[in-house]
Amino acid sequence: MRDFAALDENNVVLNVIATDDKDIEWCEAFDPSVHKWVFSASENTAKSACIGDTYDESNEVFIRPKPFPSWVLNSDWKWVAPVSPPDDSNEKSYVWNEETGEWRQLSDDEADGNTLIPEFLLIRKFPTS
């Protein structure tokens, strides 16, 4: 069995299924809303599909939805902030604030999940030693 991604006419992933190669023809005939099916390699993140990803046909990779307007796609097909997250030696949690264009350190209550935070993308930094 292998994973296959169902794409719409804009190469956006509609679904991901595990099936035998021979059964993909049946899938193509069964669902006319699917524009095409492509192989999704689960062992390689850039080649592993998730619903909502966009398939870049020329590079044969799946690109996750852009989390913020200011972020850019790097050479590993991952979205990165225009400013690197702080590199702390202590365990600290940060969120990206798109309005200010900065990483904001969370309070203890926010980091523990006791307080709702306006930003939704959480990056945890753990000590290296």
Sequence ranges of the domains in the chain: 2-63, 66-129
DSSP 56-106: ETTTTEEEPPPSSTT-EE-TTS-EE-SSPPP--SS-EEEEEETTTTEEEEP
Question: Confidence band (pLDDT; 50, 70, 90) for 22?
Answer: confident
Q: For residue range 31-90, list pLDDT tens digits in order.
A: 878 889 999 986 666 688 999 999 999 999 999 999 899 999 999 999 999 998 888 745
Tell me the percentage of the chain whose pLDDT exceeds 70. Answer: 81
Q: What local confidence, expressed as pLDDT, does residue 85 receive? A: 85
